[in-house]
C-alpha cells in the first residue's frame, strides 16, 4: 500500500507537454478498513505478549522447581519466537498503515484492550476469582479517566514567568514561543493513577493466585504468569479509556455545524449552470454572535469580483466559507453555495475535477521542495504546466530556477512563496479562484502579472473572487462586492461604484425587511467616524429607520415583495442627505401633503406615520422618480464636533489674572 503514496519523479528536464484540462483530485478521507486492520495487528501482538508470559510459567516450573537445567536455554530460545512475532506484528502494522500513524496508534489501544478482555475471560473460566482484578481494573480505569477529563486541569508544556514572556515575545527565543503554544498534556494525577492501577492489578492478581495456590487450585508456577498478564491487561484498559476521553483530532478544529440550505430558484435557472451562486450564507459563533449575516450574491462565468470593505467586515471569512466551511473552527455555518449548478460544500474520496481553489493571504505549503509544492505532487505533466504559469508571473530566470530547485520550500522568501501559490492555483485551472489579499508580501510586478493572468482566465469562463484593497487590482474587477459588519452593503459594476464614490455618495443595499434596521444603523454609524459624532449618528439612524419603514409599508398587501432597497448617503456642510431608492415606491402628492399637515399639527407624544415623522424631524423631504425607480430623499441637520470642541476650549480655559 505504501507504493501508491510514494512521490513521483519531478525532474524538470524532458517533461511531457501539459494538457489544458483541470487537475483530477480526491479529498482526504480515513479508509474504513484501517480500524479492522489495526485491531488484527494489535490482536496478534497481544497474543504474542501473552505467549511470553506463558513461557515464564514453564521456566519457573520446569527449571526452578523441577531442576531441569537443560530446558532453561531451550525455553529462552523458544520465548524468542513470540518476541519475534511481536516485532513482525508491530513493523507490519506500521508498514500496512504507512502514512496513518495517528489512526494506527488510536486503533491499537482498542486492539490491546480486546486482547485484555479475552485474557480476563480465559482466567474467569479457570476460576472466577482471577477475573476480579480485570473487572476492577477496567471499571476503575474508566472512572478515573472520566473524572480526570471533566475535573482535572491539563498541564501546559511550559509555565513561563512574566519576565520570561517579555523575552520570548520580543523575538529572542522561538523555542519558548513553541512551548508556550503547545497543546496541554494530561494532568500528573492521571499519570499517577495509571501507574497505581496497573500495579494494583498486579498485586491483586498475585494475591488471588496465591490464595488459589494455597487452596491447591493452581500451581505455584502460574502466579507469575497471572500477575504479568493482569498487569498488562489493566494497563491496556487504562490506555484505551484514556484514549477515548481525548478529543479525536479528526473531530477537532472543525466547524460546530454546517447546514446546507435548499437551493433558491432564480428567475433564470439556466444561468445557474454557469454561475457562482451564494445564497443566504450566515456564519455565527457558538454563542450566537453573527459574523456574516444572510449574504447572497451571484457571480457570472468569466467575471472578476473584487471584495472590499472595512477591517473585520468578514471578507476573508466569506472566501473560507465558500471553499471549506467545515474548517471554520467552532463556528456555525448555514447557506447554499453552488458553482455551475453543483454544490461546493461536499467532500468525497472519489476522483473529481478541480472546481475551486482558495489562495489565502499566507501561502499554503507542505514539507517538501518547490517543485512538489508547485505541482501538488502530481508529476511531470502538472509541473510543466505550473512552470509555464510561474514563468509568466516571475520574469526573472533566477527566481524561477530557485523555486524549481528548492529542496525545502520554507527557505523561500515570502514573495517567492506567494508567486509559487499563485502559479499553483492558476495551473490547477479551476472554474473558481478565491484569492485573499494577494498584495500581502507580493511585489508590484508580481501583482501586475497576476492581474494579467486573471484577465486571461476570464476568457476561459473562469470566475475570480478577489479580496483586496489594491487599487490596480480593483480597477481590473468587473464588479465590486462591498461588505460591512458581515453584510453586503453594495454589489454593482466597478465603474458605477467608482463614479458614485467620486461624487461623494456611498450606498447600502438591503432587503425590504424591518429586521435589517440593525445593519442599516451600522452602515449609518460608519459614515460618522469622528469623536463627538454620537448625536449625528443617533439623528440620522432614526431618520434612516423611518425610511425603511416607509419602504416596507409601500409593499404591504397581497403583492408584498422582499426585493432589494438601496440607501445612498452624502455629507454636506451642516447637513447630510439620505436617499431611499425603491422600485415599489410611489408616493402621491396627496400622501406627501397629508404627511406634511400631520407633522405641522402634531403635539409631543402623538403617534405619527413614518413619513410624517420624517417631515417633522428633517430639514427637507423630497420624492420623485429617476431611471424608472422611485426615490425618497431627506436632508438631516448635522454638526461638526470639531467646532464644538473649538468653542468649548476657550470657555473652559482658566481666566488670566
* pLDDT beyond 80 at 61: no
For CATH 3.40.50.300, the residue range(s) in the chain are 257-484
- Report percent pLDDT > 90 for the chain: 35
Q: Which helix (H) or strand (E) holds 439?
A: none
Query: How much is the pLDDT for 482?
Result: 92
Q: Which helix (H) or strand (E) holds 643?
A: helix 641-652
pTM of the model: 0.79
Q: Do β-strands 487-493 and 479-484 pair in parallel, antiparallel, or remain unpaired?
A: antiparallel
* Cα end-to-end distance, the chain, whole Å: 95
Query: How much is the pLDDT for 648?
Result: 52
- Tell the burial category of 110 from Cβ atoms under 10 Å away from its Cβ (0-12, 13-18, 19+): middle
CB 93 within 8 A of CB 45: yes
Query: How much is the pLDDT for 274?
Result: 75
Nearest to 575 by CA among 618, 529, 632, 523: 618
- Report percent pLDDT > 70 for the chain: 92
* pLDDT beyond 90 at 1: no
Query: How much is the pLDDT for 613?
Result: 92
* pLDDT beyond 90 at 220: no
Confidence of residue 238 (pLDDT cuts 50, 70, 90): very high
For CATH 3.30.565.10, the residue range(s) in the chain are 504-644
Confidence of residue 247 (pLDDT cuts 50, 70, 90): confident
Check residue 59 and report its DSSP letter: I
For 259-280, what is the mean pLDDT?
76
What CATH architecture is 504-644? 2-Layer Sandwich (3.30)
Q: Which helix (H) or strand (E) holds 344?
A: none
Q: Which residue has the higher pLDDT, 562 or 180?
A: 180
Q: Do β-strands 463-467 and 304-309 pair in parallel, antiparallel, or remain unpaired?
A: parallel
| Distance of alpha carbon 371 from alpha carbon 408, whole angstroms | 10
* pLDDT beyond 90 at 436: yes
Confidence of residue 514 (pLDDT cuts 50, 70, 90): confident
Q: What are phi and psi of 119, to 5 degrees?
A: -65, -40
CB 276 within 8 A of CB 432: yes
User: In this predicted model, what pLDDT tens digit does every residue of 582-618 receive, in sequence order?
Assistant: 888 888 888 899 999 998 888 877 888 999 999 999 9
Q: What are phi and psi of 565, to 5 degrees?
A: -115, 155
| Angle at alpha carbon of residue 549, lines to 598 and 562, rounded to 5° | 145
| Distance of alpha carbon 586 from alpha carbon 571, whole angstroms | 26
Confidence of residue 3 (pLDDT cuts 50, 70, 90): very low
Query: How much is the pLDDT for 256?
Result: 87
What is the three-state SS of 126-166? HCHHHHHHHHHHHHHHHHHHHHHHHHCCCECCCCCCHHHHH
User: In this predicted model, what pLDDT tens digit does every residue of 439-485 receive, in sequence order?
Assistant: 998 899 999 999 999 999 898 889 999 999 999 999 999 999 999 88
* pLDDT beyond 50 at 2: no
DSSP letters of 512-552?
Answer: S-GGGHHHHHHHHHHT--STT-HHHHHHHHHHHHHHHHHHH
Least confident range from 16-25, 471-480, 510-519: namely 16-25
Cell of 285: 459563533
Query: How much is the pLDDT for 97?
Result: 83
| Distance of alpha carbon 117 from alpha carbon 131, whole angstroms | 10
* pLDDT beyond 60 at 6: no
* pLDDT beyond 80 at 14: no
User: In this predicted model, what pLDDT tens digit does every residue of 50-60 receive, in sequence order?
Assistant: 888 888 877 87
Chain-centroid distance of CA 191 in Å reads 33
Least confident range from 3-17, 24-38, 345-359, 425-439: namely 3-17
Average predicted confidence (pLDDT) for the chain: 85
| Distance of alpha carbon 506 from alpha carbon 489, whole angstroms | 10
Confidence of residue 180 (pLDDT cuts 50, 70, 90): confident
For 435-442, what is the mean pLDDT?
92
Query: How much is the pLDDT for 269?
Result: 60
The strand pairing partners of 13, in sequence order, are none
Give the other-Cβ count within 10 Å of 444's Cβ: 10
| Distance of alpha carbon 583 from alpha carbon 563, whole angstroms | 9
Give the other-Cβ count within 10 Å of 641's Cβ: 16
CATH 3.40.50.300 correct for 257-484:
yes
Query: How much is the pLDDT for 7?
Result: 45
Amino acid at each position: 500500500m505504501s507504493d501508491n503514496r510514494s512521490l513521483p519523479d519531478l525532474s524538470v528536464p524532458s517533461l511531457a507537454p501539459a494538457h489544458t484540462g483541470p487537475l483530477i483530485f480526491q479529498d482526504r478521507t480515513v479508509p474504513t478498513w484501517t480500524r479492522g486492520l489495526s485491531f488484527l495487528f494489535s490482536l496478534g501482538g497481544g497474543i504474542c505478549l501473552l505467549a511470553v508470559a506463558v513461557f515464564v510459567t514453564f521456566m519457573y516450573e520446569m527449571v526452578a522447581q523441577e531442576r531441569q537445567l537443560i530446558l532453561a536455554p531451550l525455553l529462552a530460545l523458544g520465548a524468542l519466537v513470540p518476541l519475534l512475532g511481536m516485532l513482525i506484528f508491530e513493523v507490519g502494522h506500521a508498514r500496512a498503515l504507512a502514512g496513518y500513524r495517528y489512526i494506527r496508534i488510536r486503533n491499537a489501544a482498542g486492539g490491546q484492550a480486546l486482547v485484555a478482555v479475552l485474557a480476563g475471560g480465559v482466567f474467569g473460566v479457570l476460576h472466577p476469582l482471577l477475573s476480579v482484578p480485570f473487572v476492577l481494573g477496567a471499571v476503575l480505569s474508566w472512572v478515573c479517566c472520566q473524572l480526570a477529563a471533566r475535573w482535572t486541569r491539563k498541564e501546559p508544556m511550559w509555565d513561563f514567568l512574566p519576565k520570561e514572556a517579555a523575552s520570548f515575545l520580543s523575538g529572542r527565543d522561538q523555542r519558548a514561543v513553541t512551548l508556550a503554544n503547545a497543546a496541554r498534556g494530561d494532568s500528573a494525577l492521571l499519570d499517577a493513577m495509571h501507574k497505581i492501577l496497573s500495579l494494583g492489578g498486579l498485586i491483586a492478581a498475585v494475591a488471588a493466585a496465591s490464595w488459589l495456590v494455597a487452596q491447591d487450585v493452581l500451581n505455584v508456577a502460574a502466579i507469575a504468569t497471572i500477575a504479568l498478564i493482569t498487569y498488562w491487561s489493566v494497563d491496556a484498559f487504562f490506555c484505551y479509556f484514556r484514549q477515548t476521553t481525548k478529543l479525536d483530532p479528526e473531530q477537532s478544529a472543525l466547524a460546530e455545524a454546517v447546514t446546507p440550505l435548499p437551493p433558491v430558484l432564480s428567475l433564470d435557472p439556466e444561468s445557474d449552470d454557469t454561475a457562482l451562486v451564494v445564497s443566504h450564507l450566515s456564519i455565527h459563533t457558538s454563542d450566537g454572535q453573527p459574523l456574516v449575516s444572510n449574504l447572497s450574491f451571484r457571480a457570472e462565468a468569466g467575471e472578476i469580483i473584487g471584495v472590499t470593505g472595512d477591517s473585520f467586515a468578514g471578507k476573508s471569512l466569506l472566501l473560507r466559507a465558500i471553499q471549506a466551511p467545515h474548517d471554520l473552527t467552532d463556528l456555525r455555518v448555514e447557506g447554499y453555495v453552488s458553482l455551475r449548478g453543483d454544490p461546493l460544500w461536499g467532500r468525497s474520496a472519489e476522483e473529481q475535477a478541480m472546481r475551486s481553489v482558495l489562495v489565502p493571504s499566507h501561502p499554503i505549503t507542505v514539507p517538501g521542495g518547490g517543485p512538489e509544492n508547485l505541482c501538488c505532487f502530481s508529476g511531470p505533466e502538472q509541473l510543466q504546466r505550473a512552470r509555464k504559469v510561474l514563468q509568466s508571473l516571475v520574469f526573472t530566470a533566477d527566481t524561477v530556477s530557485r523555486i524549481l530547485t528548492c529542496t525545502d520550500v520554507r527557505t523561500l522568501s515570502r514573495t517567492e512563496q506567494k508567486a509559487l501559490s499563485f502559479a499553483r492555483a492558476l495551473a490547477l485551472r479551476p472554474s473558481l479562484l478565491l484569492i485573499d489579499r494577494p498584495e500581502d508580501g507580493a511585489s508590484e510586478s508580481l501583482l501586475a502579472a497576476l492581474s494579467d493572468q486573471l484577465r486571461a482566465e476570464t476568457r476561459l469562463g473562469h470566475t475570480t473572487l478577489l479580496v483586496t484593497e489594491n487599487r490596480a487590482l480593483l480597477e481590473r474587477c468587473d464588479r465590486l462586492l462591498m461588505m460591512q459588519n458581515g453584510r453586503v452593503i453594495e454589489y454593482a459594476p466597478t465603474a458605477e461604484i467608482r463614479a458614485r464614490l467620486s461624487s461623494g455618495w456611498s450606498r447600502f443595499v438591503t432587503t425590504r425587511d424591518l429586521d435589517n434596521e440593525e445593519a442599516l444603523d451600522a452602515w449609518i454609524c460608519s459614515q460618522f467616524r469622528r469623536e463627538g459624532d454620537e448625536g449625528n449618528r443617533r439623528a440620522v439612524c432614526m431618520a434612516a429607520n423611518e425610511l425603511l419603514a416607509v419602504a416596507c409599508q409601500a409593499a404591504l398587501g397581497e403583492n408584498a415583495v422582499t426585493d432589494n432597497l438601496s440607501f445612498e448617503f452624502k455629507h454636506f456642510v451642516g447637513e447630510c442627505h439620505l436617499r431611499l431608492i425603491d422600485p415599489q415606491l410611489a408616493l402621491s402628492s396627496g400622501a406627501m401633503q397629508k404627511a406634511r399637515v400631520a407633522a405641522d399639527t402634531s403635539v409631543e407624544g402623538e403617534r405619527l406615520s413614518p413619513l410624517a415623522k420624517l417631515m417633522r424631524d428633517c430639514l427637507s423631504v423630497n420624492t420623485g422618480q429617476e431611471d424608472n425607480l422611485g426615490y425618497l430623499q431627506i436632508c438631516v441637520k448635522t454638526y461638526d464636533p470639531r467646532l464644538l470642541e473649538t468653542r468649548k476650549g476657550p470657555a473652559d480655559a482658566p481666566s488670566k489674572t
